[in-house]
């Protein structure tokens, strides 16, 4: 049996290539954008990514700090509906849109 990985709402975020970041950034200890040290209450999980790392298929666990992730998330909130069939159909039923808006609200606090 294989489990299909469902792409989360943050999957379309543009991240640095895994080959361009440090080991600490690969495991989510440092912000994937600014390389700042992360703590539980300031870190935002960006969902595990599957990428080829130095030619080896691998998984990494990018995380970002709140100040780095706010703008990309706000941008996703704006651009998501144009890329989503569910939103074209009935945006109130789109879980991705709900998740993005909830995250944006949370980050702005």
Residues that bind Zn ion (CB under 5 A): 31, 33-34, 36, 65, 68, 84, 86-87, 94, 96-97
Considering the complex, state which of residue 7 and residue 34 has its C-beta at the smaller distance from Zn ion.
Answer: 34
**Cβ-based nearer residue to Zn ion, 12 or 51:** 12
Gap between the terminal Cα atoms of the chain: 42
Angle 62-59-4 from CA coordinates, rounded to 5°: 110
| Shorter beta-carbon distance to Zn ion: residue 34 or 57 | 34
Q: How far is the CB of 51 from Zn ion (least distance, A)?
A: 20
Q: How many CA atoms lie within 13 A of 97 on its CB side?
A: 17
């Amino acid at each position: 049996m294989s489990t299909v990985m469902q792409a989360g709402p943050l999957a379309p975020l543009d991240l640095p290539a895994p080959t361009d970041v440090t080991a600490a950034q690969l495991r989510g200890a440092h912000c994937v954008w600014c390389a700042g040290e992360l703590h539980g209450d300031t870190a935002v999980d960006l969902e595990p990514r599957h990428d080829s790392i130095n030619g080896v298929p691998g998984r990494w666990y990018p995380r970002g700090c709140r100040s780095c992730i706010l703008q990309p998330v706000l941008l996703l909130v704006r651009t998501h509906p144009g890329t989503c069939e569910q939103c074209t159909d009935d945006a109130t039923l789109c879980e991705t849109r709900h998740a993005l808006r909830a995250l944006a609200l949370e980050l702005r606090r």
